[in-house]
A and B are shown apart, each in its own frame.
Chain A
Amino acid sequence: AQSVSQHNHHVILSEAASLELGCNYSYGGTVNLFWYVQYPGQHLQLLLKYFSGDPLVKGIKGFEAEFIKSKFSFNLRKPSVQWSDTAEYFCAVKTDSWGKFQFGAGTQVVVTP
């Protein structure tokens, strides 16, 4: 069965620290990969996406992610976090042309001042 796993459920770090959130999926075919962010009290927003081409994708707010096909991974990174990055982060994978997504369990990130 297809699945998406996010390694960390809860991450706490200080401002200016670097952030890396892991995401792995189990599916052998073509995938579209996404990272969404949900700020407290707000709806899901797209951070970045990978369809094809350069496996290193840059998104909004200084985030980037790297698709490593051999590892079935799509890890999210940010070199220096801010307090405003406190949010829940979801990795999502689309594996069929109808746009049906499978979401990871989410990672709650708390950035302390």
Chain B
Amino acid sequence: GAVVSQHPSRVICKSGTSVKIECRSLDFQATTMFWYRQFPKKSLMLMATSNEGSKATYEQGVEKDKFLINHASLTLSTLTVTSAHPEDSSFYICSARVEISGRHNEQFFGPGTRLTVL
């Protein structure tokens, strides 16, 4: 199947700093990528849909200025957590949409990035 990578896998930062997380589709092009947040023992919460060459679409309750998403190429989307605070500590997962046929498509997930804000 399609491979999605994330970098870094773990990051620890001080409160107030910004952190950039990269999501790459390694062997395919992805016009659409998704960013999720997973809390401990909780499900995945969709944060935003990242569209190549256009603005991201954010889910209700997700701060656009806090979580900046850039999808500058067909293989790379980045999530920047700006002015991070301890409550932003979480597991961030990206996925890339692959069209199978017509209306059917799948998502392939990256391995996730563990962010810890001190």
Please say whether chains A and B are actual partners in one complex.
yes
Is residue B25 within 8 Å, beta carbon to beta carbon, of the partner chain? no
Q: Which residues of A contact B108 (CB under 8 A)?
A: 46
Q: Which residues of B contact A32 (CB under 8 A)?
A: 104-105
CB proximity of B92 to chain A, nearest CB, Å: 12
Q: Which residues of A contact B106 (CB under 8 A)?
A: 34, 46, 49, 99
| Residue contact B93 to A51, C-beta cutoff 8 Å | no
What secondary structure prevails in chain B residues at the interface with A? strand
Looking at the complex, which one of B32, B104, B105, B109 makes contact with A44 (CB distance below 8 Å)?
B109
Interface residues of A in 93-113 (CB under 8 A from B): 94, 97-106, 108
Is residue A74 within 8 Å, beta carbon to beta carbon, of the partner chain? no
| Residue contact A46 to B1, C-beta cutoff 8 Å | yes
| Residue contact A43 to B42, C-beta cutoff 8 Å | no
Is residue A35 within 8 Å, beta carbon to beta carbon, of the partner chain? no
Residue among B49, B95, B106 with the highest chain A CB neighbour number at 10 A: B106
Is residue A67 within 8 Å, beta carbon to beta carbon, of the partner chain? no
Residue among B42, B44, B46, B111 with the highest chain A CB neighbour number at 10 A: B44
| Residue contact A105 to B93, C-beta cutoff 8 Å | no
| Residue contact B42 to A106, C-beta cutoff 8 Å | yes
Q: Which residues of B contact A46 (CB under 8 A)?
A: 1, 106, 108
A90 to B106, CA, bound (A): 15
Looking at the complex, which one of A45, A51, A90, A100 makes contact with B46 (CB distance below 8 Å)?
A100
Q: List B residues at the A interface (Cβ < 8 Å).
A: 1, 32, 34, 41-44, 46, 49, 93, 95, 97, 100, 103-112
Q: Known contacts A32-B104, A51-B100, A97-B103; is A43 also within 8 Å of B109 by CB? A: yes
Q: 4 other contacts beyond A97-B103, A101-B46, with CB at 8 A cut-off?
A: A30-B103, A43-B111, A44-B109, A98-B97
| Residue contact B43 to A103, C-beta cutoff 8 Å | yes
| Residue contact B111 to A98, C-beta cutoff 8 Å | no
CB proximity of B59 to chain A, nearest CB, Å: 9
Interface residues of A in 21-68 (CB under 8 A from B): 30, 32, 34, 36, 42-46, 49, 51-52
Residue of A nearest to B105 (CB): A99
Looking at the complex, which one of A45, A49, A100 makes contact with B49 (CB distance below 8 Å)?
A100
